Chain A
Amino acid sequence: MEKAGLYIHIPFCERKCHYCDFTSVPGNNDLMDRYVERLIKEISMASDTYEDINIGTIFIGGGTPSILHENKIADIMDAVRRDFSLDTHAEVTIEINPGTLTVDKAISYRASGINRASVGIQSMNNGILKTIGRIHSEEQVLTTVENLRRAGFENINGDIMFGLPHQSIEDFLQTLDKVISLELEHISMYGLILEENTPLYRWYNRGLVCMPDEDEERVMYHTAIDSLEFGGYRQYEISNFAKEGFECRHNLGYWKLRPYIGVGLSSHSSISGRRYWNSSNFSDYFNKLDRGILPIAGDETISRDLMEAEYMILGIRLNEGISIEDYEKRFNTSFMGKYGEVINNHTKSGLIQLDDGTIRLTRKGMDLSNQVEIDFLP
């Protein structure tokens, strides 16, 4: 039986954040009901396609999954359990927006078998939260975490962002201290990327908001790594930190190029050497499922060369690095024969290091990982 991760996309938000270019729409009850109905149908169809797999992790992401009524989440989880073989120790995560969680909801999630919560904190500065279009406040973060703990969540992640508009280094370090004091099990920390087609991008280009410069942004990142280490978090990926044993297994699956199935609008799947993605258009998604076909919008076949490159590109993001032995076992080819020159060049420039048969990014390499990654491309 093949192990796989399952990603479930909930494309609704109360309001879109100003930096977000993901697929999501403001939810209305009718649309959300119709969506969940189709999603459950898709889960059933997907499970028929891949009969011989065992789901080891589930990630309910968005959008804002917590915007759905808790019963809907329970229905979805029931469907998964009914149609798929779900590992008894599965890690099941749901993304939560602090503005949308009640104790009842949290208790219901636990009852549905969800055992990990990922809270979109982003910042503990109410001014900045407003600038980036978040609907919650610092106070709501505290309540949300309290509610989750009361409901029995023992594995909580907080997402935080740095390099935000008008954010000073001090602002960010304050947020960081406040988040560390929440004693969560896991922290994801992302540098903001200004994506085209977002309000923030347009504002920035028109000079309406100012952003920390590259140097300040890097100071935030480096200082944060140190503070988090000091607070008991171990960095295990470029943007991810966890207390021992709490690394996100679902995401580790992505970085280790393990199979995953995505259900829901615009979700991606990668399984059996094929990558495909669902339609990001609601009516197309609905129509296809109503006609009994999977709502796939496109796919690509990952050649062996590309697969090796992706294995490197994703694997190098992890602090544990890439074991040459694992690589050679997986691809049955000489690692140094293929990447010797790249490794050599980037070792010289100080971006990666090779110890005990494992290659890893150095600290400088974590800042400049693209420079290494492009050289892994065929």
Chain B
Amino acid sequence: MDKSDTRRKSMHIKQENIRNFSIIAHIDHGKSTLADRLIEMTGMLTSREMQEQVLDKMDLERERGITIKLKAVRLVYKAKDGQEYVFNLIDTPGHVDFNYEVSRSLAACEGAVLVVDATQGVEAQTLANVYLAIDQDLEILPVINKIDLPSARPEEIINEIEDIIGIESHDAPLISAKDGLNVEQVLEEIVKKVPAPKGDSKAPLKALIFDSYYDSYKGVTCYIRVFEGQVKPGMMVKMMATGKSFEVTEVGVNTSKHIPLDSLSAGEVGYLTASIKNVKEARVGDTITDLKHPTAEPLPGYKKVIPMVYCGIYPAEGEDFNTVRDALEKLQVNDAALVFEPETSVALGFGFRCGFLGLLHMEIIQERLEREFDLNIITTAPSVIYRVTKTSGEVLEIQNPSNLPAPAEIHYMEEPIVSANIMTPTDYVGAIMELCQNKRGTFKNMEYLEETRVVLHYDLPLNEVIYDFFDALKSKTRGYASFDYELKGYQQSELVKMDILINSELVDAFSLIVHEDKAYERGRTIAERLVDVIPRHQFAVPIQAAIGSKIIARETIRALRKDVLAKCYGGDISRKRKLLEKQKEGKKRMRQIGSVEVPQEAFLTVLKYDEK
């Protein structure tokens, strides 16, 4: 207590000496490296204390080079004007799936540092986030990074930023975050250009939750930006969107660790705990106010995040339904965007229909279930939400193909369409156009960013995007293109439900909603892949793709002809028995569908991109 007391004093600072900002960058353009340098150079942490890339919290994120959960860090900088400034660096996730979270963390800031790679230039994702920052009226400070690389072309990149984004960039610091070159200039620019927060500390409390996470010691910790008033321990607060009230147990700021303070006032960024049990009760974007003296209006921009992509998650053989539910509940405590409800599949038994912000979010959840909870799960093909208008006039939202009404009852169907921006070197324009064409895309226009780079604008059906678009784009452009999209709306479309029959038995977990024109091709691809992954049985197994009662593709898994150990003598007995035990184990892990055993990979192969 004594120790933190001395710090408490030093932590409070005049409003005009606070700078709240984010860093916006494309993956690999050096956001985390710059954040590390800023933290080092402000002297809050010694180099030894610095874990590499301190802002990226989860292993998975680090592996993917993506920041998923944002967080704020408080730095103290002694500027050249001799004054001490408090910097609140608020991290933002860098992926389209987390657009809303990005917008909320930007809402907590007055400025944003835009990091652009001096060799790569502006990318689609950067652009999307810059527009979000502009929407929030943030002061944008461009910074050109990786200036040390021989292929750096800062002049061109500066022109590009001015042309595309329309912000003055000729004073942009040219830095190498890796070497620390000119990073000090960035710190000075932040002091000079990012406006100090405003807001009356005497007014009723108005604070924005821009992130929240759960841990088993403190319950939910909220990262907040106080806009008006003051929040202190013991106070009863209310979440304006969810209507829930809590007593504040602790407030403070985050340096390398949590440092409790007696209060947080208007303009300040910090954390708050209040024995909240679930992140759903402290949603990102919600406004915290004083229960007794509430503010009149919540902060604008709150929305309840809506899943865009759904899939079934089932316990694999030998895994327990309840264990999977517990794990999903634990993840949900920390992830308000994850939704799930129990469902039943004829093929897979009891499981869950889960909703995600997008494909990346879905993959992250799947991987966390497998890695952190050590679960063995089966995932079904992802689906978007289709809007079905029945002949009766009733409108349904369908996210599980199995729930699609009979064709006779369907008047028409609509599917979600996204507007996509694809930035690419001109060399790949042809390949990308072909791909988008193939994915039922509608070409909007193409802009030249510079002589060798363009941005292509397409409208694409989301169901094609979630199928294998990323993989296909990556493969066709050797990773040079970047891609970003946002939901545009719904569009009427000729969609059909395609079923897969294994040994004449419909396997609901394989059912898909596809565009009529793509059904034949998809059906054939899936049937071919299943032939490869399902082991041969004692009898021939037909694999069929069907629309209604019409078979559109058929393959056959030939009967097993040989499964015998030729030799088995004295020295072999133990070894051969072990081989048989292994074979039996493998068999156990399969799904029994009628008389056919289907390995778990079968459910995944349906999703894989086909290099053809």
State the A residues within 8 Å of B (CB). Answer: 5, 7, 190-193, 214-215, 217-218, 238-239, 251, 254-255, 260, 262, 266-268, 270, 275, 277, 300, 306, 309-310, 313-314, 317, 349, 351, 364, 366-371, 373-375, 377
Q: Is the CB–CB distance between A374 and B570 below 8 Å?
A: no
Q: Is B492 an interface residue (CB 8 A)?
A: no
B599 CB, min distance to chain A CBs, angstroms: 16
Q: Is the CB–CB distance between B564 and A266 below 8 Å?
A: no
B422 CB, min distance to chain A CBs, angstroms: 39
Q: Is the CB–CB distance between B538 and A262 below 8 Å?
A: no
> Could you tell me the distance between the alpha carbons of A260 and B574 in the complex, rounded to whole angstroms?
14
Q: Is B562 an interface residue (CB 8 A)?
A: yes
Query: Given A313-B580, A377-B584, do A254 and B562 touch, yes or no (CB 8 Å)?
Result: no
Q: Is the CB–CB distance between A239 and B570 below 8 Å?
A: no
For B584, the chain A residues whose CB sits under 8 A away are 374-375, 377
Query: Given A268-B574, A351-B538, do A370 and B567 touch, yes or no (CB 8 Å)?
Result: no
A264 CB, min distance to chain B CBs, angstroms: 10
Q: Is the CB–CB distance between B564 and A368 below 8 Å?
A: yes
User: When the two chains form the complex, which single residue of A214, A310, A370 contacts B565, counting CB atoms closer than 8 Å?
Assistant: A370
In this complex, which of B561, B571, B581 has the most chain A Cβ atoms within 10 angstroms of its Cβ? B571
Q: Is the CB–CB distance between A254 and B573 below 8 Å?
A: yes
Query: Given A254-B569, A260-B570, A268-B574, do A369 and B581 touch, yes or no (CB 8 Å)?
Result: no
Q: Is the CB–CB distance between B565 and A369 below 8 Å?
A: yes
Encoded as 1 (CB less than 8 Å from any A CB) or 0, chain B from 549 to 567 comes to: 0000000000011111111
> Could you tell me the distance between the alpha carbons of A351 and B538 in the complex, rounded to whole angstroms?
9
A52 CB, min distance to chain B CBs, angstroms: 21
> Could you tell me the distance between the alpha carbons of A159 and B27 in the complex, rounded to whole angstroms?
64
Q: Is the CB–CB distance between B573 and A214 below 8 Å?
A: no
B56 CB, min distance to chain A CBs, angstroms: 40
For A251, the chain B residues whose CB sits under 8 A away are 569
Q: Tell me how many residue pairs across A and B have CB atoms closer than 8 Å.
A: 89
Q: Is the CB–CB distance between B564 and A238 below 8 Å?
A: yes
**Identity of the chain A residue whose Cβ is nearest the Cβ of B565 in the assembled complex:** A370
Q: Is the CB–CB distance between B570 and A193 below 8 Å?
A: no
B535 CB, min distance to chain A CBs, angstroms: 11
User: When the two chains form the complex, which single residue of B561, B566, B570, B583 contacts A238, counting CB atoms closer than 8 Å?
Assistant: B566
User: When the two chains form the complex, which single residue of B560, B568, B573, B581 contacts A270, counting CB atoms closer than 8 Å?
Assistant: B573
User: When the two chains form the complex, which single residue of A191, A314, A366, A377 contacts B573, counting CB atoms closer than 8 Å?
Assistant: A314
Q: Is the CB–CB distance between B574 and A367 below 8 Å?
A: no
Q: Is the CB–CB distance between B587 and A374 below 8 Å?
A: yes
Q: Is the CB–CB distance between B573 and A268 below 8 Å?
A: yes
Q: Is B170 an interface residue (CB 8 A)?
A: no
> Could you tell me the distance between the alpha carbons of A60 and B564 in the complex, rounded to whole angstroms?
26
Shortest 3 CB-CB contacts between residues of A and residues of B: A374-B584, A268-B571, A370-B563
Q: Is B198 an interface residue (CB 8 A)?
A: no
User: When the two chains form the complex, which single residue of A5, A268, A368 contacts B563, counting CB atoms closer than 8 Å?
Assistant: A368
For A190, the chain B residues whose CB sits under 8 A away are 566-567
Q: Is B577 an interface residue (CB 8 A)?
A: yes
For A5, the chain B residues whose CB sits under 8 A away are 570
**Identity of the chain B residue whose Cβ is nearest the Cβ of A161 in the assembled complex:** B566
Q: Is the CB–CB distance between B564 and A267 below 8 Å?
A: no
For B562, the chain A residues whose CB sits under 8 A away are 191, 214, 217-218, 367-368
User: When the two chains form the complex, which single residue of A214, A260, A314, A371 contacts B538, counting CB atoms closer than 8 Å?
Assistant: A371
**Identity of the chain A residue whose Cβ is nearest the Cβ of B576 in the assembled complex:** A313
Q: Is the CB–CB distance between B571 and A262 below 8 Å?
A: yes
For A215, the chain B residues whose CB sits under 8 A away are 561
For A368, the chain B residues whose CB sits under 8 A away are 538, 560, 562-564
A73 CB, min distance to chain B CBs, angstroms: 20
**Identity of the chain A residue whose Cβ is nearest the Cβ of B588 in the assembled complex:** A374
Q: Is the CB–CB distance between A367 and B564 below 8 Å?
A: yes
> Could you tell me the distance between the alpha carbons of A317 and B583 in the complex, rounded to whole angstroms?
18
Considering only CB atoms and an 8 Å cut-off, how many residues of chain B contact the other chain? 21
Q: Is the CB–CB distance between A254 and B567 below 8 Å?
A: no
Q: Is the CB–CB distance between A239 and B566 below 8 Å?
A: yes
For B577, the chain A residues whose CB sits under 8 A away are 306, 309-310, 313, 377
For B581, the chain A residues whose CB sits under 8 A away are 374, 377
Q: Is the CB–CB distance between A374 and B583 below 8 Å?
A: yes
> Could you tell me the distance between the alpha carbons of A225 and B133 in the complex, rounded to whole angstroms?
80
> Could you tell me the distance between the alpha carbons of A378 and B312 in the complex, rounded to whole angstroms?
34
* 14 contacting pairs across A/B (C-beta < 8 A): A214-B561, A251-B569, A254-B568, A266-B571, A267-B571, A268-B571, A313-B580, A317-B568, A368-B560, A370-B580, A371-B538, A373-B580, A374-B580, A374-B581
**Identity of the chain A residue whose Cβ is nearest the Cβ of B582 in the assembled complex:** A374
Query: Given A368-B538, A370-B580, A377-B584, do A191 and B566 touch, yes or no (CB 8 Å)?
Result: yes
B504 CB, min distance to chain A CBs, angstroms: 18
For A373, the chain B residues whose CB sits under 8 A away are 580
> Could you tell me the distance between the alpha carbons of A369 and B566 in the complex, rounded to whole angstroms?
10
Q: Is the CB–CB distance between A370 and B583 below 8 Å?
A: yes
For A267, the chain B residues whose CB sits under 8 A away are 571
Q: Is the CB–CB distance between A275 and B574 below 8 Å?
A: yes
For A351, the chain B residues whose CB sits under 8 A away are 538
Q: Is the CB–CB distance between A314 and B568 below 8 Å?
A: yes
**Identity of the chain B residue whose Cβ is nearest the Cβ of A192 in the assembled complex:** B566
> Could you tell me the distance between the alpha carbons of A349 and B539 in the complex, rounded to whole angstroms?
9
B405 CB, min distance to chain A CBs, angstroms: 40
Known: A268-B571, A268-B574. 19 other contacts (CB 8 A): A7-B570, A7-B571, A191-B562, A192-B566, A214-B561, A214-B562, A218-B562, A254-B569, A254-B573, A255-B568, A260-B570, A275-B573, A306-B577, A309-B577, A314-B573, A364-B538, A367-B562, A368-B564, A369-B565
For A217, the chain B residues whose CB sits under 8 A away are 561-562
Q: Is the CB–CB distance between B561 and A367 below 8 Å?
A: yes
For B564, the chain A residues whose CB sits under 8 A away are 191, 238, 366-370
Q: Is the CB–CB distance between A349 and B538 below 8 Å?
A: yes
A14 CB, min distance to chain B CBs, angstroms: 21
For A306, the chain B residues whose CB sits under 8 A away are 577
For A367, the chain B residues whose CB sits under 8 A away are 561-564
A98 CB, min distance to chain B CBs, angstroms: 20
A373 CB, min distance to chain B CBs, angstroms: 5
> Could you tell me the distance between the alpha carbons of A377 and B587 in the complex, rounded to whole angstroms?
13
> Could you tell me the distance between the alpha carbons of A242 and B328 in the complex, rounded to whole angstroms?
63
A266 CB, min distance to chain B CBs, angstroms: 7
> Could you tell me the distance between the alpha carbons of A336 and B610 in the complex, rounded to whole angstroms?
50
For A370, the chain B residues whose CB sits under 8 A away are 563-565, 580, 583
For B568, the chain A residues whose CB sits under 8 A away are 254-255, 314, 317
> Could you tell me the distance between the alpha carbons of A216 and B563 in the complex, rounded to whole angstroms?
14
> Could you tell me the distance between the alpha carbons of A218 and B568 in the complex, rounded to whole angstroms?
19
**Identity of the chain A residue whose Cβ is nearest the Cβ of B573 in the assembled complex:** A310
**Identity of the chain B residue whose Cβ is nearest the Cβ of A375 in the assembled complex:** B584
For B560, the chain A residues whose CB sits under 8 A away are 368, 371
For A364, the chain B residues whose CB sits under 8 A away are 538
User: When the two chains form the complex, which single residue of B538, B561, B565, B573 contacts A218, counting CB atoms closer than 8 Å?
Assistant: B561
> Could you tell me the distance between the alpha carbons of A300 and B563 in the complex, rounded to whole angstroms?
27
B272 CB, min distance to chain A CBs, angstroms: 57
**Identity of the chain B residue whose Cβ is nearest the Cβ of A368 in the assembled complex:** B563
**Identity of the chain A residue whose Cβ is nearest the Cβ of B579 in the assembled complex:** A370
For A371, the chain B residues whose CB sits under 8 A away are 538, 560, 563
B312 CB, min distance to chain A CBs, angstroms: 30
> Could you tell me the distance between the alpha carbons of A369 and B580 in the complex, rounded to whole angstroms?
11
**Identity of the chain B residue whose Cβ is nearest the Cβ of A191 in the assembled complex:** B566
Q: Is the CB–CB distance between B567 and A239 below 8 Å?
A: yes
> Could you tell me the distance between the alpha carbons of A193 and B572 in the complex, rounded to whole angstroms?
13
> Could you tell me the distance between the alpha carbons of A5 and B569 in the complex, rounded to whole angstroms?
12
For A238, the chain B residues whose CB sits under 8 A away are 564, 566
For B561, the chain A residues whose CB sits under 8 A away are 214-215, 217-218, 367
**Identity of the chain A residue whose Cβ is nearest the Cβ of B564 in the assembled complex:** A369
For A275, the chain B residues whose CB sits under 8 A away are 573-574
> Could you tell me the distance between the alpha carbons of A239 and B564 in the complex, rounded to whole angstroms?
10
For A191, the chain B residues whose CB sits under 8 A away are 562, 564, 566
Q: Which B584-606 residues sit within 8 Å CB-CB of chain A? A: 584, 587
**Identity of the chain B residue whose Cβ is nearest the Cβ of A251 in the assembled complex:** B569
Q: Is the CB–CB distance between B566 and A268 below 8 Å?
A: no
> Could you tell me the distance between the alpha carbons of A215 and B583 in the complex, rounded to whole angstroms?
22
Q: Which B8-54 residues sit within 8 Å CB-CB of chain A? A: none
